[in-house]
Structure 1
Amino acid sequence: MKATALIQTRLIYAENAFAELVLWQLPEALFGSTHTFKYRLAYVVDGQCVIRYDNEAGKGDHRHVGNQESKYLFTTPENLLSDFQRDIETHKRRHQRENDHS
């Protein structure tokens, strides 16, 4: 079986914000992963990646929120997308409050 692209898309949230989602089904797990998915999800605001989920070979599943990197417990592609969307919504709410107080 060859690698199969499941998702390759860009979602526009605002004039200055978008998410890029890439998800592949692989014939076998990447080194450092326990599942057969390869993914890269990024939320970019004003040209800066503020949230990223990925699982590069050897590093395993992890996420970046701002300057913080942490392990990510991958369960299913659906949960991955849901967790990513939740982090985007949290980021948007947090920054909306900051803008409201400016």
Structure 2
Amino acid sequence: MKATLIEKSRRVVNETTFFEVVLWHLPEALPGSTHPFKYRLALVVNGDCILRYDNERGKGDHRHIGDCEEEIEFTTLEALFDAFQTDMERALK
């Protein structure tokens, strides 16, 4: 079984800002993750990624806010998107 792309989208917030969602369903969890998803949620302002949630092999689920990187707990896709939305709204204030 191969990875299945669930969503790949880019939404424009304004002339200098957009957010992007890339979500895959994997046949099995990546090392470091407990779920079968590979994802990247990114907020880009003036060409700079100022907020990103992602998971990568061996590193697990984490977010980048500016230059800081911190582990996050994945519970559900809905909770992940809600947390990203909250951080995105905070970053755009």
Global fold match (TM > 0.5): yes
* Correspondence list, 1:1-102, <5 A: 1-93=1-93
CA distance in structure 1 between the partners assigned to 2:79 and 2:13 by the alignment: 20
User: What residue ranges of structure 1 are gaps of 5+ in the alignment?
Assistant: 94-102
Give structure 2 stretches of 5+ with no counterpart: none
Runs of 4+ aligned structure 1 residues displaced above 2 Å come to none
Using the alignment, how far apart are the partners of 2:6 and 2:79 within structure 1? 15
Q: Quick check: which has more Rg, 1 or 2?
A: 1
Q: Normalising by structure 1, what TM-score?
A: 0.88
- State the distance in 1 between where 2:52 and 2:92 align: 15
Identity among equivalent positions (%) equals 57
Aligned-pair RMSD on alpha carbons?
A: 0.7
